[in-house]
Amino acid sequence: MQYTVYTFEVSPLIPGNDLVIASLSELAFDSFQETESGVEAYVPTQFDTEELQNALLELTIEDVTIHFSKKEMEDINWNAEWESQFDPIDVDNLCRVRAPFHEAKEGVLDLIIEPKMSFGTGHHATTYLVLQKMFELDLKDKEVIDMGSGTAVLAIAAEKLGAKKVWAIDIDEWAYENAIENLERNSCTKIEALLGVEDLLEGKMSDVFIANINRNILLAQAKHYENSTKSGAPLLLSGFYENDVPSLLEAFSAFEWKETRVRDEWTMLYLVRK
């Protein structure tokens, strides 16, 4: 398959690169590489349409400056490309997020993820924060919703921590297909991967609700999360930074604030449904 590579110059790099990757992952881009000046993003040339380019021209991120250019690429062995860069992620000696070609680590939860794109592998600070908190919750025999599930790493962790049912929901078809593959890779039987938006929450009630997406989507979907979370149930929110916390707490006023955690300028909120 032939690819087009877009080179993005980003300032500031932190948290700009992560925000750019998060935004591009919602378009047709399926692989990313951080550079000294920003991000290289790869899209199958067949999807490099006028509509995509217009979306990029309209892309704005608050307090982040973005400039981009593009060029055609020859066929690339993507497995070899990301294998050369992907390292296992160890979360507080509790779990290891690894690729199939990495060794498992004894005595910790083993999560095997082979991502099609870099965002959502567990390298991202928000995924780390949510995984860390999940180990402090009681997930045994619980029903869990993982909204914006990406590679399904959090959903897989939920099943391995004892959840009896997990709904993994994502709007992106690439992420959905990758999630299916990762569920099979981890021998998961209690996770239902769903492709779509917040309408899929209708009729579902969670004992634990997880949403690692971004500030704007969280704000827009707050009421849906409220309607799908049982009284007294935890809600873990991430995908934003600390100065977004006041607006999120206002939007999620049906929940009681319990804790805020920050890692590499990214933030996680631990809330409980009133």
Give 75's contacts (C-beta < 8 A, 6+ positions apart). 1, 2, 3
pLDDT digits (tens, 9 = 90+) for 211-261: 998 888 899 999 999 999 999 999 999 988 888 899 999 999 999 999 999
Mean pLDDT of 76-100: 75
pLDDT digits (tens, 9 = 90+) for 237-249: 998 888 889 999 9
Residue with token string 């006023």: 253
Checking if the pLDDT of 95 tops 70, the result is yes
Q: Sheet harboring 31-34: ordered strands across?
A: 31-34, 38-44, 3-11, 65-73
pLDDT in the model for residue 119:
47
Mean pLDDT of the chain: 89
Residue with token string 């993994």: 168
Checking if the pLDDT of 200 tops 80, the result is yes
Mean pLDDT of 8-29: 88
pTM for this predicted structure: 0.76
Checking if the pLDDT of 78 tops 90, the result is no
pLDDT in the model for residue 116:
61
Checking if the pLDDT of 150 tops 90, the result is no
Cβ burial, residue 72 (10 Å; 0-12/13-18/19+): exposed
Tokens of 223: 């009421």
Give dist(CA 251, CA 263) in Å, integer: 23
List, in order of start, the domains of the chain with CATH numbers: 3-81 (3.30.70), 125-273 (3.40.50.150)
